[in-house]
């Protein structure tokens, strides 16, 4: 009688076969699941070194390889990127921090002949996997370097599995080479099997796509940053007084951001940044003043109060000379009249009156020249003096009496702080509106979606009195508040402004401290800026030695240690 189907024979052979089959299927499914998991991980990894390392480690695990090397094709040479060997505890390249000391493998010699003696080069040139059971008995390839390595280390390089990596366009971008397959049962070295080859080829295909995508993304990022640099260069060429600002503010922004990220206690202890966050803030810093490309250069470069296309203080000087000549003519006429009348006293008074007027004119002239330079604050008495001088009359080009200073000149010379009048200040302030409009018009990818908010908030104040939107502290991100401090401190210490010299560290920190007290800047970030000496690290890199004076932290307004 024939045994029923599926019923085990007395020796148990069908049951053992079924169990073996299930074991093999489980083994295969396990590797397939691992391969899929690796594919997902590769698609998500942004760091190229980690990406390459993940590929090699996964290939070693899938094929039970003791060692392996990943090459990347660069300029017709296979460049060592990652090298691992478990038995020798060797880890080079990738995240190991140890560079790979070996020369690249050329695909062609100096005469253009293909290099078919090196296994990795052969696989790349022929777009074919090479599976070698024993390098010491294999013919046709040059393993002299491998044997020398073995002599130095006492290792025995036996089986090799070398797989080319192709991108989606069929181009070879690198080679994956695995060394010494380990038998799971005995622990000894064995040859790589067909399953190993298929798994390695599948992984190499996934890896090639992941590497290509990562480099494409890197190239796009480089292109994007180059375009930003192009904008900043245009601003720099337009005005040398803003180009340095566009480069320094991002640096100081990142310094303060890193200090805030490192805070382990206090209000900012919960603030943390990922690499994505850092890149987003970096881009925002580089673009924070891109709207200045729309600002007229004569406003940006206005070094004095009377400057337009040229500094009109020269015209004022000419008018003083005309006043003195008129006074001299009047003196000579009075002296002649007095002399004709024999009035020596009147003649002397005429001379003394003239000399007094000349002294007054010279004094007024120097006063206007000083006033024209601008400064932190102009007091009301000086403004009243400008208005009195404006009322002088002189004979203009048409020979008729004219007001000594035009209404526009009087208004500009009475600018209370700096060199910009109200209209010009509004033009300057418009740059942030232009910046926001420009940035909000761009289709930002998800990892850069906050750039407009970070870049557009650096002229807001914590008390809501800033511009252009009058945001309060609670309505702003920490990153935007960081950029606000960086923008102010850079402007205070900058030595390339047309209207002022760069301030010293102590002066700048004193002013910034007052800004903290009056609700201008974020108090918590200000405390970190001072406590962690962010200002000093920045100063040592960008300030002149004479600006690096001693800072007494106890005298900085508003600072809480």
List, run by run, the mean pLDDT of 10-residue segments along the chain (561 residues).
44 50 48 61 67 82 91 93 93 90 93 94 95 93 92 94 88 93 92 90 80 82 88 74 77 97 93 94 92 82 83 92 93 93 91 95 95 85 95 87 93 89 86 92 92 94 94 96 96 74 90 95 96 95 92 89 72
Q: How far apart are CA 252 and CA 441, in angstroms?
A: 27
What pLDDT does residue 233 have? 79
Distance of CA 432 to the CA centre of its chain: 19
C-alpha Rg value of the chain to the nearest Å: 39
Strand, helix or coil for residue 552: coil
Q: How far apart are CA 133 and CA 146, in angstroms?
A: 15
Tokens of 137: 């008995």
Fold of 239-296+431-555: Hypothetical protein af1432 (1.10.3210)
Q: 398 Cβ partners below 8 Å, 6+ apart?
A: none
Q: How far apart are CA 65 and CA 180, in angstroms?
A: 5
Distance of CA 352 to the CA centre of its chain: 66
Q: How far apart are CA 495 and CA 163, in angstroms?
A: 58
H or E element at residue 179: strand 172-182
Residue 539 CA neighbour count, 13 Å, CB half: 24
Q: How far apart are CA 282 and CA 449, in angstroms?
A: 13
Q: Name the residue among 178, 189, 265 with its Cα closest to residue 524.
A: 265
Give the torsion sign (CA, 247, 253, 258, 261). Answer: negative
Under a CB-based contact definition with an 8 Å cutoff, are residues 485 and 528 in contact? no
* Alpha-carbon dihedral angle through residues 461, 464, 465, 466, given to the nearest 10 degrees: 40
Separation in Å, CA 481 to CA 231, 484, 485, 561: 24, 5, 7, 20
Q: How far apart are CA 84 and CA 70, in angstroms?
A: 9
Q: 138 Cβ partners below 8 Å, 6+ apart?
A: 132
Q: 133 Cβ partners below 8 Å, 6+ apart?
A: 158, 159, 191
Q: Name the residue among 162, 252, 330, 329 with its Cα closest to residue 525.
A: 252
Under a CB-based contact definition with an 8 Å cutoff, are residues 248 and 492 in contact? no
Under a CB-based contact definition with an 8 Å cutoff, are residues 452 and 444 in contact? yes
Separation in Å, CA 395 to CA 22, 88, 351, 388: 111, 97, 22, 18
Longest dimension (CA), the chain: 166
Under a CB-based contact definition with an 8 Å cutoff, are residues 433 and 468 in contact? yes
What pLDDT does residue 9 have? 45
- What secondary structure letter does DSSP report for 417? S
Q: In the chain, count of helices (H) and strands (E)?
A: 18, 10
Residue 38's CB: how many other CB atoms inside 10 A?
22
What pLDDT does residue 208 have? 79
Q: How far apart are CA 498 and CA 419, in angstroms?
A: 10
Pick the CATH number of 31-216 from 3.40.50.300, 3.30.450.40, 3.40.50.2300, 3.20.20.70: 3.30.450.40
Q: How far apart are CA 449 and CA 455, in angstroms?
A: 11
- What secondary structure letter does DSSP report for 533? T
> What ranges do the domains of the chain cover?
31-216, 239-296+431-555, 313-419
Under a CB-based contact definition with an 8 Å cutoff, are residues 373 and 304 in contact? yes
The answer for 342, left when phi > 0, alpha when psi is -120 to 50, beta otherwise, is: left
Strands, DSSP E only, in 334-410?
393-395, 401-403
Separation in Å, CA 505 to CA 257, 397, 495, 508, 552: 20, 49, 12, 5, 10
Q: How far apart are CA 117 and CA 135, in angstroms?
A: 13
């Amino acid at each position: 009688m024939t045994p029923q189907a599926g019923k085990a024979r007395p020796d148990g052979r069908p049951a053992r076969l079924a169990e073996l089959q299930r074991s093999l299927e489980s083994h295969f499914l396990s590797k397939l699941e691992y391969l899929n998991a690796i594919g997902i991980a590769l698609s998500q990894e942004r760091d190229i070194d980690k990406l390459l390392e993940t590929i090699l480690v996964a290939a070693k695990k899938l094929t039970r390889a003791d060692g392996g090397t990943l090459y990347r094709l660069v300029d017709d040479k296979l460049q060592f990127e990652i090298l691992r060997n478990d038995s020798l505890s060797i880890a080079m390249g990738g995240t190991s921090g140890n560079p790979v000391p070996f020369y690249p493998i050329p695909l062609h010699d100096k005469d253009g002949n293909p290099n078919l003696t090196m296994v990795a080069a052969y696989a790349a040139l022929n777009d074919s996997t090479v599976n070698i059971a024993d390098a010491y008995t294999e013919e046709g390839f040059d393993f002299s370097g491998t044997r020398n390595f073995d002599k130095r280390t006492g290792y025995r390089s036996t089986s090799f599995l070398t797989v080319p990596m192709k991108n989606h366009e069929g181009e070879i971008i690198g080679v994956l080479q695995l060394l010494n397959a380990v038998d799971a049962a005995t622990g000894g070295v064995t040859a790589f099997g067909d399953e190993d080859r298929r798994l390695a080829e599948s992984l190499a295909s996934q890896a090639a796509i992941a590497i290509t995508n990562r480099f494409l993304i890197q190239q796009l990022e480089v292109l994007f940053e180059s375009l930003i640099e192009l904008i900043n260069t245009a601003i720099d060429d337009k005005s040398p007084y803003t180009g340095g600002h566009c480069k320094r503010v991002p640096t100081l922004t990142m310094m303060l951001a890193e200090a805030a990220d490192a805070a382990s206690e206090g209000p900012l202890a919960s603030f943390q940044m990922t690499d994505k966050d850092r890149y987003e803030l970096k881009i925002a810093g580089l673009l924070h003043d891109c709207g200045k490309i729309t600002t007229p250069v004569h406003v940006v470069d206005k070094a004095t109060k009377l400057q337009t296309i040229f500094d009109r203080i020269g015209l004022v000087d000419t008018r003083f000379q005309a006043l003195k000549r008129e006074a001299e003519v009047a003196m000579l006429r009075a002296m002649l009249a007095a002399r004709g009348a024999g009035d020596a006293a009147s003649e002397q008074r005429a001379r003394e009156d003239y000399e007094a007027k000349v002294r007054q004119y010279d004094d007024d002239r120097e006063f206007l020249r000083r006033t024209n330079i601008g400064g932190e604050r102009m007091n009301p008495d000086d403004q009243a003096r400008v208005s009195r001088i404006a009322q002088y009359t002189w004979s203009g080009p048409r020979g008729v009496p004219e007001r000594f200073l035009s209404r526009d000149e009087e208004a500009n010379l009475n600018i209370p702080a700096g060199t910009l009048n109200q209209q010009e200040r509004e033009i300057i302030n418009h740059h942030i509106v232009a910046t926001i409009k420009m940035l909000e018009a761009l289709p930002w990818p998800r990892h850069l979606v906050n750039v407009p908010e970070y870049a557009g908030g650096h002229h807001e104040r914590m008390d809501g009195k800033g511009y252009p939107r009058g945001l309060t502290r609670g309505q702003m991100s920490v990153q935007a508040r960081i950029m606000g401090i960086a923008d102010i401190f850079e402007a205070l210490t900058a030595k390339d402004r047309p209207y002022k010299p760069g301030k010293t560290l102590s002066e700048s920190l004193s002013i910034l401290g007052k800004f903290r007290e009056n609700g201008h800047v974020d108090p918590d970030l200000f405390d970190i800026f001072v406590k962690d000496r962010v200002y000093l690290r920045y100063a040592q890199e960008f300030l002149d030695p004479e600006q690096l004076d001693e800072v007494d932290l106890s005298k900085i307004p508003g600072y809480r240690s």
